[in-house]
Amino acid sequence: MSYQLTRRRFLHAAGAGLSLPFLAQLMSACQAISPGSSQPLSEITWSRGDDLRTQDPQLIAGRMEGEINRCIYDQLFDTAPDGSQINWLATEFSSNPEGTVWTVKMQEGTKFHDGSPVTSEDVKFTFERLLANPEFQHSTAFKDLLASVDAPDAATVVFTCSKPAPLFNLILGEHILSKKSADENGENFWEKAIGSGPFRHLEYVKGEYWLGEVNSDYWKPDLVKVNRLRYRPISEEATRVAALRSGEVDIIANVSGELAEELGQDANIVIYRRPSLDHLYLLTQNNRPPFDNPDARWAVNYAIDRESLVKNIVKAGQLVGGHIPEGTVGYDASLPPVPYDPDEARRLLDKAGVAPGAKIEIKAHPFWFAKGKEVMEYVAGAMQDIGFEVDLQFLEPGAYTEARKSGSYNLALQQGGKANNPCNQYKTFYITDTYGSGYGPQHPDFQQAIDQACITVDTAQADELYKQIQKRVYDEAVEIQLYRQENIWAVRKRVSGFEPYSPDTTRPWNGMSVSA
């Protein structure tokens, strides 16, 4: 943020009991003023509820890992505000008719933060690292698909797939890593965070902030309008709001509809809204009772009053039946939202042989989502109303990820992003069974259907196959859809150039500026 740090302002801030991170920002702004200059560095600070779990750009496919690493690293392809794909380091791409060989041409003259050129060898290294580390979450899309990566010249990359990959370009959004940095710094080279993106990594203090400074040699010289970016993870909504109102932060993401109405009355704050491409749902545990029985899963479906969730709790979002959004292959408008019918829910539990008082564990990390805690408290109450004894657990991100990976849950809150190319998410949840629901491994025919859809080049045929997969998930209540999200931000008026994105992401590096 930009501050004229006078003695009076500092004493006022200290006396007002403002947070230590904010005082650190004030001191940082003061120290940033160069000798002979009266102008401090401009800085945008943004916040939401979750923190980084790793700084390795490939290990975890998490929201904040992706958001912050996108400040540091460039990609071959990026995402437009509406969720469509745009070229970035790539200038063009093509494939053979079978979709097995993809050729990408790259921008020339781009550089990493250490001054070394970005070439096709770095792209080759980036994707070969994924192939060498199949346990990385980012590797899921490429397992048993990407056979080789070649760099015939400095500005050309050739991806060869072991089978047809008709939407392969849509999974090439990896952060491009520096081969030179890896060669010089060893296995943990990512700790140096040498990217080619619009900001250089300065400092990360877990639970407090991430700080980056502008890459003054960035190949898009007019894109970045501020000198520094700071991200602050603030898990409690009330604390985030107080930080926004006081000017500690400029942008808060993941705002509920109710809070948007309140903050919209503040003369210093602007509300931005955009329908999301993501949906929230309950992931069901199919490896053991009670939810190995589809009747018990449908009981959960009928027990939830989605209209009440959207209108009265989140005050945002949209009721949906299917999970593939409009505009994506496999979208099916014929799948209706499941109606609220608690009597039918109880009947189905009785049919499934689930006795009243049966115990279930529901797990979530609520701070990833607007009103996530309240949503899951409602879900727990709805399960109690139809006869379950519920153990609702709110876990920290690392513990929550491990609980899902190990299958240690009966129901778990999950965000789904099947826009543009559903193949990757289907593979993650039902082929590799990354989050332990068990449904995919129990149904090899379902896994085969996913594999077939992923390699079908004909668009109409692929559309029909994805519709069949989605309908099976719907008919067997494997995923309990809650609602399609709406992305809402609250932004202080001193920020100009803010643009809301349909993907749940904040891009403070992309053309935003601040006034004093």
CATH number at residue 158: 3.90.76.10
Q: Which of 23, 19, 3, 20 is nearest to 11 (CA)?
A: 23
Answer whether residue 232 is part of any domain: yes
Structure tokens at 86: 């745009």
Q: List b or e across 171-182, with b for residues whose CB sees 16 or more CB atoms inside 10 angstroms.
A: bbbbbbbbbbbb
Let me know if residue 99 belongs to a domain: yes
Which residue segment(s) compose the domain that 285 sits in?
276-486
| pLDDT for 79 | 93
> Over the stretch 303-323, which tens digit does the pLDDT of each residue have?
999 999 999 999 999 999 999
Q: What is the CATH number of the domain that holds 207?
A: 3.40.190.10
Residue 425 sits in the same domain as residue 453: yes
Q: Which residues of the chain carry a pLDDT beneath 70?
A: 1-40
434/414 same-domain check: yes
Q: Are residues 322 and 188 in the same domain?
A: no
- Say if 68 falls within a structural domain: no
As a whole number of angstroms, the longest Cα–Cα distance in the chain is 79
Same domain for 337 and 302? yes
Dihedral through CA 306, CA 311, CA 313, CA 316, nearest 10?
A: 100
Confidence at residue 36, expressed as pLDDT on a 0 to 100 scale: 40
pLDDT computed for residue 47 by the predictor: 96
CATH number at residue 346: 3.10.105.10
152 in the same domain as 202: no
pLDDT at position 398 is 84
Residues 177 and 207 in one domain: no
Beta carbons within 8 Å of 71's beta carbon, 6+ residues apart: 197, 198, 199, 212, 229, 508, 509
3-class state of residue 190 by DSSP: helix
What pLDDT is attached to residue 39?
Answer: 55
Amino acid at 195: G
Model pTM? 0.85
Smallest Cα–Cα separation from 80: which of 462, 514, 419? 419
Boundary-marking domain end, from 192, 224, 259: 192
In a domain, 61, yes or no: no
Q: Is residue 333 located within the same domain as residue 472? A: yes
Residue 142 within any structural domain of the chain:
yes
Task: Catalogue the long-range contacts made by 81-87 (C-beta closer than 8 Å, 24 or more residues apart).
Answer: 81/274, 81/499, 81/500, 81/501, 81/502, 82/502, 83/277, 83/419, 83/420, 83/501, 83/502, 83/503, 84/420, 85/169, 85/170, 85/173, 85/420
Is residue 281 assigned to a domain? yes
pLDDT score for 397: 83
* pLDDT given for residue 204 in this prediction: 96
504 within some domain: yes
For the chain, the domain total comes to 3
The last residue of one of the domains, among 166, 192, 218, is 192
- Show the CA angle centred on residue 447, arms to residues 446 and 448, nearest 5°: 90
